[in-house]
Amino acid sequence: MLIIVLIALPLLFAWYQSYKRDHFSCDATATIIGENIVYEMLTHFTFENGKGVYTSLGQLHEKGKPELNTNNHFTFKYWHQDDNIIMISTESSGVENLFGQYFPQTPDFFLYRERGISLQVERENASSYLFSYDGTPLFYCMQAKQK
């Protein structure tokens, strides 16, 4: 019995680590500051066995103009390749005109259907993930509470 337990424990641990890699959600906040604008947003990512959801709520403050609220929500598919996670959007976001005007450097993945992005997503500790591009940190994402 002891031999069976000793064989099963590492296999269970490996399965659990693999499961956590493809079953998590996290939240991040970001503030983008421009010459005459400030954009604050809250984002939520969900990764569930090859399918994902991205949601963001934001407020655009432009000097001399009323505050503008944004809502960006779309689904995506993803897979792991080496140390990267490849994500392909399956829907358009609906905010492409706004972001094209204020943030032309926004990756197409966040705006248009069937556009991709390749990121590294590393578990930093028990409650957070680091999203990076080509070794450059982009943002931290705090693990969302499980429902």
Q: Give dist(CA 3, CA 110) in Å, integer.
A: 50
pTM of the model: 0.83
Residue 75: what pLDDT?
Answer: 95
pLDDT tens column, 50-59: 999 999 999 9
Check if the beta carbon of residue 119 is closer than 8 Å to that of residue 87. Answer: yes
Short-list 114, 25, 28, CA closest to 76: 114
3-state helix, strand, coil in the chain (%, to 5): 20, 55, 25
- Regions in the chain scoring below 50 on pLDDT: none
Distance CA 45, CA 54 (A): 5
Enumerate domains of the chain plus CATH numbers.
24-143 (2.40.128)
Say if CB 64 and CB 91 are below 8 A apart: no
Q: 């779309």: which residue's tokens?
A: 74
Write down the pLDDT at residue 88: 97
Helices (H), 38-87: none
Residue 39 and residue 57: Cα distance in Å, rounded?
10
Predicted local distance difference test score (pLDDT) of residue 79: 95
pLDDT of residue 95: 81
